């Protein structure tokens, strides 16, 4: 391999040998020492997220920054942590450390009181360790002749801990759209057991001893036929520009190629079929990181990731998963159901028994009304009938949906099921609230009287200052025994 030598170091070596009488270390002969050649790392990179500087490149880029001056724009650099100052500031959550291109303490650059991943606060000194490969973004200043990242104006875009001697893996992206350590539990993942192995009641389980999610079809001392899917929650990539999947996994005791019995799949929320993702190489008997599986075809959507495990009577190995992460570039959104995902406002979808419309009445502590299906509807096949009571309000609630800060209008159609004079009121129930917040008009709660002759359109508006999960509420006031109300065609709009 070609090596480059710096004229500076050659001249420096000449000065030392010419001017200073340096004694040999005791017990070592000069002829026994093999001179170590200095390898010069050339500057590279353009300082962007897609093409970070190396440390040499950053030093070259800021070399002419005058004392007291700061850069006008942020730069991105990739390096290896060479020194760490154990100086966690608990108030600001920042740490100071040095990075270099080779992990050595020469030709290193100072990250002064930088912040953690994506600008979050550090909570311990151990979150940065010597040997970590880091990507740092921030502004550089010249502080009394020292070039350094400015205090609280740098953050980690990615970090890979190599202190355990493992191979360094770069995780792409400055945004983490979703992550779950799967550290001994299944986290927010769900399981679909297509076929259970033998007498076992599960395929996937959280293993607290090995700190992972684990699948196996080996039961009662024998290989069993099985199939189980470990499925992530919805991951919001609607505002992403690039997205990648990374996870750690371990395969062992497969009597066949693990690729024939383990698979990784993805599916957008508007799709029915799963798409298998390409995994180049499966580990055998050791944990390995599978990094940066491209999810570009799911950008602009919400996506679920699934791990499919199968076993046969001839092969039932063990598959372990942990440190699941979807990263990339763009803007992070809420993972889960949002108001934009609201469905079944026309009450066309019901459970098999016909007792609950899909997406409604999931929280029985809030939704205490008795619901039934009615063919007296305004559109589609059904409306919902909400029964009243002599004592106590009866509420129909939607599933919780995340609402961004803003102003919203909910519109629906209603009429009395049988008797004129039935009443309805509507509002919303924030996750943090203890009761419904109803639409108000002139300081009094608005209750609309209905006829049983025609449908009446009702709308109400509300505004929230910060994003929160909310359930929609349509209620029958107390004292409405035998005065059921029909509801149909619920819609949500947001003010621009």
Say which CATH architecture domain 55-170 belongs to. Beta Barrel (2.40)
The pLDDT tens digits of the residues spanning 178-235 come to 999 898 899 889 999 999 999 999 999 998 878 899 999 999 999 999 999 999 999 9
Q: Count CA atoms within 13 Å of residue 7 on its CB side.
A: 0
pLDDT in tens, 266-304: 999 889 999 999 998 888 777 788 989 999 999 999 999
Q: In which band, very low, low, confident or very high, does the pLDDT at 13 lie, cut at 50, 70 and 90?
A: very low
Beta strands in 118-239, from DSSP E residues, in sequence order: 133-143, 146-160, 175-180, 190-195, 204-207, 212-216, 218-219, 222-223, 226-231, 235-236
Rounded to 5 degrees, φ, ψ at 126 are -75, -5
Residue 449 predicted with pLDDT over 70: yes
Give the N- to C-terminal CA distance of the chain in Å, as an integer: 61
Determine contact, residues 462/496, Cβ cutoff 8 Å: no
- Specify which residues 250 forms β-bridges with: 320
Helix, strand, coil tally for the chain in percent (to 5):
5, 45, 50
Contact 339, 430 (CB under 8 A): no
Q: What is the pLDDT of residue 168?
A: 53
Q: What percent of the chain has pLDDT over 90?
A: 58
How does residue 162 score in pLDDT terms, banded at 50, 70 and 90? very low
Cβ contacts of 378 within 8 Å, gap of 6 or more? 413, 455, 488, 489
Please tell me whether residue 209 adopts helix, strand or coil conformation: coil
CATH class, domain 178-330, is: mainly beta
List CB contacts of 13: < 8 A, sequence separation 6 or more. Answer: none
Q: Which pLDDT tens digit goes with each residue over 132-161?
A: 888 999 999 999 888 999 999 999 988 875
Q: What is the pLDDT of residues 420-445, one digit of tens each?
A: 889 999 999 998 888 888 865 543 34
pLDDT, one tens digit per residue, over 370-404 is 999 999 999 889 999 999 898 989 999 999 999 99
Please determine whether the domains at 178-330 and 339-494 fall in the same fold group of CATH: yes
**Mean pLDDT confidence for 450-462:** 92
User: Does 81 or 166 have the greater pLDDT score?
Assistant: 81
Cα 40 vs. chain centroid, distance in angstroms? Answer: 39
Cα–Cα distance for residue pair 387/475, rounded to 1 Å: 9
Token look-up 């505002």 returns 239
Q: Any residues with CB less than 8 A from the CB of 83 and at least 6 apart, and which?
A: 97, 98, 105, 108, 130
The Cα-based distances of 326 to 190, 358, 413 in angstroms read 17, 29, 41
Task: Give the pLDDT score at 440.
Answer: 55
Assigned superfamily of 339-494: Galactose-binding domain-like (2.60.120.260)
Calculate Rg over the CA atoms of the chain. Answer: 31
In this prediction, residue 169 has a pLDDT band, given cuts at 50, 70 and 90, of: low
**pLDDT tier at 41, thresholds 50, 70, 90:** confident
Quick check: helix, strand or coil at residue 388?
coil
Burial state string for 174-187 with b = 16 or more CB within 10 A and e = fewer than 16: bbbbbebebebbbb
- Picking from 480, 487, 481, 437, the residue whose alpha carbon sits closest to that of residue 458 is 487
How many C-beta neighbours within 10 Å does residue 171 have? 19
Mean pLDDT of the chain: 86
- Domain boundaries along the sequence of the chain: 55-170, 178-330, 339-494
CA atoms of 67 and 42, how far apart (whole Å): 25
pLDDT at 39: 64
pTM for this entry:
0.55
pLDDT at 104: 86
Using CA atoms, how far residue 22 sits from 7, 15, 17, 36, in Å, is 22, 12, 8, 17
Q: Would the pLDDT of 7 be above 80?
A: no
Q: What is the pLDDT of residue 395?
A: 94
- Give the H/E segment covering residue 445: strand 444-445
């Amino acid at each position: 391999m070609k090596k480059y030598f710096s004229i500076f170091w050659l001249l420096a070596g000449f000065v030392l040998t010419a001017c200073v009488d340096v004694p040999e270390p005791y017990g070592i002969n000069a002829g026994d020492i093999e001179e170590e050649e200095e390898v010069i790392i050339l500057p590279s990179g353009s300082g962007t997220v897609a093409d970070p500087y190396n440390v040499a490149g950053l030093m070259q880029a800021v070399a002419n920054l005058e004392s007291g001056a700061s850069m006008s724009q942020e730069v991105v650099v990739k390096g290896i942590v060479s020194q760490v100052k154990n100086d966690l500031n608990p108030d600001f959550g920042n740490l100071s450390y040095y990075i270099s291109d080779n992990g050595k303490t020469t030709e290193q650059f100072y990250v002064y009181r930088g912040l953690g991943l994506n600008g979050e606060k550090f909570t311990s000194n151990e979150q940065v360790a010597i040997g970590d490969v880091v990507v740092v973004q921030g502004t550089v200043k010249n502080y009394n002749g020292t070039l350094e990242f400015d205090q609280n104006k740098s953050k980690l875009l990615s970090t890979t801990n190599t202190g355990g001697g493992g191979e360094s893996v770069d995780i792409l992206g400055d945004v983490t759209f979703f992550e779950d350590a799967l550290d001994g539990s299944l986290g927010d993942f769900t399981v679909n057991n297509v076929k259970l192995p033998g007498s076992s009641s599960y395929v996937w389980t959280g293993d607290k001893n090995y700190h992972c999610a684990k699948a196996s079809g080996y039961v009662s001392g024998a290989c069993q036929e099985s199939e189980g899917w470990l499925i992530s929650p919805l991951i919001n990539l609607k505002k992403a520009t690039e997205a990648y999947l990374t996870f750690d996994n371990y395969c062992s005791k497969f009597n066949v190629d693990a690729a024939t019995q383990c698979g990784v799949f993805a599916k957008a929320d508007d799709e029915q079929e799963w798409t298998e993702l390409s995994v180049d190489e499966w580990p055998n008997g050791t944990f390995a990181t599978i990094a940066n599986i491209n999810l570009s075809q799911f950008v602009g959507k919400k996506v679920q990731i699934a791990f499919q495990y199968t076993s046969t009577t001839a092969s039932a190995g063990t598959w372990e998963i942990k440190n699941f992460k979807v990263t990339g570039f763009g803007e992070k959104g809420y993972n889960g159901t949002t108001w934009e995902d609201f469905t079944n406002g026309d009450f066309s979808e019901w459970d098999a028994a016909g007792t609950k419309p899909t997406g409604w009445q999931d929280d029985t502590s809030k939704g205490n009304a008795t619901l039934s299906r009615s063919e007296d509807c305004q559109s589609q096949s059904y409306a919902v009938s909400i029964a009243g009571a002599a004592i106590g309000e009866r509420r129909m609630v939607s599933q919780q949906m995340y609402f961004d800060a803003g102003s919203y209008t909910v519109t629906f159609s209603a009429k009395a099921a049988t008797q004129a004079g039935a009443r309805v009121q509507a509002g919303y129930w924030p996750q943090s609230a203890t009761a419904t917040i109803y639409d108000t008009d002139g300081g009094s709660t608005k209750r609309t009287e209905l006829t049983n002759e025609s449908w009446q359109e009702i709308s109400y508006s509300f505004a929230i200052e910060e994003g929160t999960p909310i359930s929609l509420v349509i209620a029958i006031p107390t004292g409405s025994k035998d005065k059921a109300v029909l509801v149909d065609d619920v819609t949500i709009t947001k003010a621009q």
